[in-house]
Amino acid sequence: MSASAETLTIPVNFYRPDYHVKTPEMRSPEYVQLSTAAAITLGLVPGSMHRTSCTHCLNLLVTYPEGCRANCSYCGLARHREESRDYADRNFIRVDWPTVGYDEVIERVKANADKGQFERMCISMITHPNSDHDTLLLLRKWMKAVPHIPVSILSNPTTMKYEDLVTLRDEGADIFTVALDAVTPEIFERTRGKTVDSPHRWDKYWQAIEWAAEIFGPEKFGAHLIAGMGETEQEMMAICQKMRDMGGHNHMFAFFPEQGSLMEDWPAVPKDQWRRVQLGRFIIDYAGGRIDDMRFNEQGQIIDFGMGEDELEALIASGKPFQTSGCPGKTDEEISACNRPYGDSSPTDIRSFPFALNAQDVGFVKRQMAGEDVGTVDHDQLD
């Protein structure tokens, strides 16, 4: 059985990815996609999440049947997939993104469907001719309806001008972020530049970061960074330090091979590498540390975090460095509202913890930092 926007007798207001039907025509600004975690939190789809009842950030994605016109090699939304899968059916950061009417989203939030758990909303842009214009419309509508929940913009620098950032700030956007992802010009070019027939350019992305630092100001901008795409830990820390020196924060993701992407056979970031850069990022962003005080071996791995042993041990024991990093929540700037449950790993081998770690979780993290190939679930207790 197939369905289309023309043949349905009532308007489509919600679409859950289904590879066996014809995808309805649904486009922004009337429609948005939202993460599976947000859909569960709002009661749009049934389900539960391991050890967390919700996501604290309503992650929205502008959407068009034509899809994103970029071709980033690690992304499930990339243009090269258009022959095999409709845009609204493509997975992104490991999960499906259902499509829903924007008015429906707003009404559910106003009706407290999230039970007050949303601390932030994020509009994620894609590379599309209408993305800039529609993002502004979505922002204006949100600020008029539910201004008590602050809005972050995950931008598309490729299509943006300086004046666009000024307008977004003036219309109420709280934080502006740039998905730099790759931390060296060479990796950027290989994964999302001309090499893969994609329009993004390293210099343009850094220009947007510099604009954001000027327009939004300290603590109100950030960059997304993906660990495990061929960079060294020292190169990752160098970008983290550069961002912090500019007044911004670093939102770090563990590389996980996205099904259907050009890098689907690329291995996930090694666990010990991931834990070290998570800890190093937190030290630079929130603990007053600097890369100048850290030491690295010949492979660029962190061998000294530049902190006293007791201070470092207390920081690790807190578990905070290993929680999901992103835009802050209402009560603790060190803890991200955008906890993205299981966006970069499975619940049995958690890379970014979407909840506070307990002592057992910290124990698994320590073992991973020591080089043990263990997950984050005690399988012996499960048997």
- For residue 383, tell me if it sits in a domain: no
* Encoded tokens for 276: 């070290």
Lowest mean pLDDT among 2-16, 190-204, 365-379: 2-16
- Verify cis geometry, omega within 30 degrees of 0, for the bond prior to 29: yes
DSSP H helices in the chain: 36-41, 102-110, 131-145, 162-170, 185-192, 202-215, 233-246, 271-286, 309-318, 359-369, 379-382
- For residue 290, tell me if it sits in a domain: no
- For residue 12, tell me if it sits in a domain: no
**CATH number, domain containing residue 131:** 3.20.20.70
Look up the domain containing 73 and give its range: 31-270
- Residue 20's pLDDT is 52
Report how many helices (DSSP H) and strands (DSSP E) the chain contains, helices first. Answer: 11, 11
CB neighbour list of residue 148: distance below 8 Å, 6 or more residues apart: none
Instruction: Look up residue 359 and give its amino acid.
Output: A
**How far from 260 is each of 25, 186, 255, 276, CA to CA, in Å?**
22, 23, 15, 29
Q: Looking at the 3D structure of the chain, how many domains does it have?
A: 1
Tens digits of per-residue pLDDT, 307-355? 999 999 999 999 999 999 999 988 888 999 998 888 788 888 999 999 9
- For residue 356, tell me if it sits in a domain: no
The structure's pTM equals 0.90
- For residue 321, tell me if it sits in a domain: no
CB neighbour list of residue 56: distance below 8 Å, 6 or more residues apart: 117, 118, 119, 120, 329, 337, 338, 339
The CA angle 291-295-298, to the nearest 5 degrees, is: 120
- For residue 245, tell me if it sits in a domain: yes
Q: What is the dihedral of CA 310, 313, 317, 322, to 10 degrees?
A: 140
Tens digits of per-residue pLDDT, 96-113? 788 999 999 999 999 999
- For residue 22, tell me if it sits in a domain: no
- For residue 160, tell me if it sits in a domain: yes
